[in-house]
A = this chain, B = another copy of it.
């Protein structure tokens, strides 16, 4: 989240991917809520904050208010659709695990690069812009897990923060080299997606700290 969506006029590929990311983040929130036996309101609330949480925190830190998603209905429609799909088809969703995982990965990649570019455009220092990009991608999931009373997954099992970091650094370097923004976005997002897919296939994970040893 969130680039300014241009519903009228041509929609760029990153706008489309932003939607895909928002949709699948909202689904993941809703499914987390139903797995905790919540009702429609819990499912909706957590679906929503999972999708908009990262972009909201980034916007607040940077002082960009009102935050993007309360200035247009677009995100809300997208999220409502995702929540309904998740609720109605949740028994079947398990069969689509691989598809969902792919789209979720696309979302993470897109959110990272959108957040990074927004911060750079607001003259935030490059290293801090990378942090804004990562926040955009991970904070929604952190809030989702906290509201579900779990320790956030990304602090323990997931490798995708590292994939986001790699993609963000590649984006920074290519931007420095003068690569046009659209190409740069595609390459950086592609890198994030590729690393995460390989990591999962190879069952990579980082060593966790164990204070008992």
Interface residues of A (CB under 8 A from B): 33-43, 45-46, 56, 60-63, 65-67, 70, 72-73, 76, 87, 90, 122, 124-125, 127-128, 131-132, 138, 142, 146-152, 154-156, 161-162, 205-211
List 12 additional A-B contacts (Cβ < 8 Å) besides A39-B205, A61-B67, A146-B149: A33-B209, A34-B209, A34-B211, A37-B156, A37-B211, A38-B208, A42-B152, A60-B60, A65-B65, A70-B124, A147-B155, A148-B151
Contact A76 B127 (CB under 8 A): yes
Q: Which of B42, B46, B156 contacts A39 (CB 8 A)?
A: B156
User: How near does chain B come to A66, taking the closest CB pair, in angstroms?
Assistant: 5
Contact A209 B39 (CB under 8 A): yes
Copies in the complex: 3
Q: Which of B41, B87, B138, B155 contacts A155 (CB 8 A)?
A: B41
Contact B90 A209 (CB under 8 A): yes
Residues of B within 8 A of A87 (CB): 209
Residues of B within 8 A of A63 (CB): 65-67
How far, in angstroms, from A76 to B43 measured CA to CA in the complex? Answer: 33
Contact B128 A42 (CB under 8 A): no
8 closest A-B pairs (Cβ-Cβ)? Answer: A63-B65, A42-B155, A34-B209, A39-B206, A41-B161, A38-B155, A37-B208, A63-B66
How far, in angstroms, from A207 to B42 measured CA to CA in the complex? Answer: 12
How far, in angstroms, from A17 to B206 measured CA to CA in the complex? Answer: 34
How far, in angstroms, from A36 to B211 measured CA to CA in the complex? Answer: 8
User: How near does chain B come to A25, taking the closest CB pair, in angstroms?
Assistant: 17
